[in-house]
Amino acid sequence: MNQQDDTDFTDGLRASLSDDRFALTPTASARETIVAAARTRRRRREAAYVTGGSLAVAGVLLGGFLLVSPQHPEGGTTLAEDTPSMPRTAEAGAEARMESAPEPRAVPDKATAQREMLDARDEATVRLQVGPDGYRALRLGMSYDEIRATGMLADQDGPPPNNCARYRLSGADVAVRHILVSENVGLAAVVANKARTPEGVTIGSTRAELERTYDAAEADDPGKYLIPTGKGGYYLFRVDGERVSELALVANKHDCGLP
């Protein structure tokens, strides 16, 4: 608002207050107070209009600048976009659950289970086999100290043989009744209990099974069969009636007599 506008506004307001048509006629001092207050109010209103218009223009200019300005100015710093991220506590919890989750247990298929059963059965069968040159860790001709070192003797502190001696194996071993050890030649014989030969002949097998398995004819003594193993020893089968009653693996060279 310029000075001339202010003067015109003031004069007009004074004239209006001096109009006889007003029901109340203010005094001269009151009239000047009213005029001053009205002039101040008018100035404030016009100032507000000017300020509002300036802000609107500034907003338009700023919006245009943002629309035409490049998103990634050359040589400038590119601001990273705000991306939602999982709170660290949630991430830590998720990682802990992933790490602590138990791995799924592999369930063997039918073929694998059958193969494992067969392997276990084969292992048990081998543990029950005697021959052709020994039994488990024992070998024909082993010295007493070597036999003792296997840990298979029932009495690990027993004395060495004086000439020849019998030794029982540990109580868990029921396949062998005892072994015969010579002071001079070492392990001379392994006398079976539930053990069988690799070909399947054992105590209780029939005479016919024995002869058929080893292609053996009846010897001069029908109660005794000697079958060479080709590994430094032979099988001694004793037959009572028509069934095998005793089985032993015997070294070819020993000085203990037949077990």
Question: For every one of its 259 residues, what pLDDT tens digit does the chain have, with 9 covering 90 and above?
Answer: 555 666 665 666 566 656 555 545 556 665 576 657 667 766 776 665 545 555 444 444 445 444 444 454 454 444 444 545 555 555 555 555 555 556 666 666 767 666 655 554 444 555 689 989 999 999 999 999 999 999 999 999 999 999 999 999 998 888 999 999 999 999 999 999 999 999 999 999 999 999 999 998 766 688 999 999 999 999 999 999 999 999 999 999 999 988 8
Instruction: Provide the residue type at 16 as one letter.
Output: S
In which order are the strands placed within the sheet that holds 176-182? 164-167, 176-182, 186-192, 243-251, 233-240, 224-228
In sequence order, the β-bridge partners of residue 234 are 228, 250
SS3 content of the chain, % helix, strand, coil (to 5): 40, 20, 40
Quick check: helix, strand or coil at residue 40? helix
Quick check: helix, strand or coil at residue 148? helix
H/E stretch holding 243 reads strand 243-251
Residue 75 pLDDT: 47
Distant-in-sequence, close-in-space partners of 222: CB < 8 Å, separation ≥ 6: 239
Quick check: helix, strand or coil at residue 6? helix
Largest CA distance in the chain: 171
